[in-house]
Chain A
Amino acid sequence: MSTANDAHGHEHPKNELSHYAKRIYAIRDLLVEKGIISEKDIQEQIEYQEARSPANGAKLVARAWVDPEFKARFIADPKAACAEMGIDATAINEFVVLENTEKLRHMIVCTLCSCYPRPILGRPPDWYKSFNYRKRSVVDPRSVMREFGLNLSHDVEVRVHDSTADIRYLVLPLRPLGTEGWSEAELAKLVTRDSMIGVMDALPAIRQ
């Protein structure tokens, strides 16, 4: 009954966990014992996931902002553009980048479950997986955006994408005004995870 390779997340005494939370330990133990998966498999998945975060997406967006030819490649073939930057997007079946403009904003949701571009952004935030977000984002995206601080006039079109299949979407947010001459690294700090989901714009041009 090995407890090796336990992840170093938020620790709870195991006897205080809920029934299903406890159950995964038994399931894991049996699967490894029977050779269905190995401890190494599990550890590899944990490490793969730790290596994925919104920083990857921010790098891509910042490069797209400074380099119009990269931006064109990023939109035309996102997986190839990721490979150019040493970001591994191979786990995504189909990757689509949606470019925001002054007159157009995109917002991504998975109403049926929680599909999300994990290989690029890491795990989704709790709110993205919540019933509230899944219910509201298709019928009233603007109210969701307002909660995140984004108020848009009716002059701006809002497109909500419901990820119901194997296509994984990433929003390319608008480059903030007043960032001329900024370095990619400085620009990347303005690109939040939430701006790549589309519930808000990138941060304004205040050096972080």
Chain B
Amino acid sequence: MKVKFEDRPGHIRTPWYIRGKTGWVERIYGDFLNPESLAFGRDGLPKKTLYLVAFYQSDVWEKPQAPKDKVLVDIYEHWLDPAA
């Protein structure tokens, strides 16, 4: 999956360093209230599916990385697109 490379206003829980990067789904955590809405006192609906997305470190950073190493981030569905 590819993380959207976007700059949206508001309370975003998709870290900058992972935006635009491509990884794969390790786990599907299920549906949760949307923090982007909860942060402003709204009800957090509709729920969003949360995924554990894994990335090779060497695909994320310019700094050289041990080849097996990974970074894993909990990302909501609306920040993910199928990888090309």
Q: Answer whether A and B touch in the complex at a CB cut-off of 8 Å.
A: yes
Chain A residues within 8 Å of B, Cβ to Cβ: 93-94, 111-112, 138-142, 154, 156-167
**Cβ-defined contact, B50 with A111, below 8 A:** no
Please tell me if B67 contacts chain A, counting CB pairs below 8 Å. Answer: yes
Number of A-B residue pairs, CB cutoff 8 Å, is 70
Q: Which residue of B lies closest to A159 (CB)?
A: B70
Partner of B13, one of A93, A140, A159, A164: A164
Interface assignment of B8: CB less than 8 Å from any CB of chain A: no
| A contact patch SS | mixed
Q: Which residues of A contact B29 (CB under 8 A)?
A: 94, 165, 167
B71 lies within 8 A of chain A by Cβ: yes
Residues on the B chain within 8 Å of A167, using CB = 29, 50, 52, 74
Within 8 A of A (CB), among B27-84: 29-30, 32, 35, 50, 52, 54, 57, 61, 63, 66-76
B: which residues have CB within 8 A of A? 13-15, 17-18, 29-30, 32, 35, 50, 52, 54, 57, 61, 63, 66-76
B68 contacts A154, C-beta separation under 8 Å: yes
CA distance A112 to B66 in the complex (A): 24
The CA of A93 and the CA of B68, in the complex, are separated in Å by 30
Assess whether B35 is in contact with A159, with CB atoms less than 8 Å apart: no
Contact A165 B35 (CB under 8 A): yes
Given that A138-B71, A139-B61 are known contacts, is A158 also in contact with B66, CB under 8 Å in the complex?
Answer: yes
B17 & A138 in contact (Cβ 8 Å cutoff): yes
Give the nearest-CB partner of A156 in chain B.
Answer: B68
The answer to whether A162 touches B68, judged by C-beta atoms less than 8 angstroms apart, is no
**A142's closest neighbor in chain B, by CB?**
B66
Residue among A112, A159, A164 facing the most chain B CB atoms (10 A cut-off): A164
Name the distance in Å between B75's Cβ and chain A's nearest Cβ: 7
CB-nearest residue of chain A relative to B72? A161
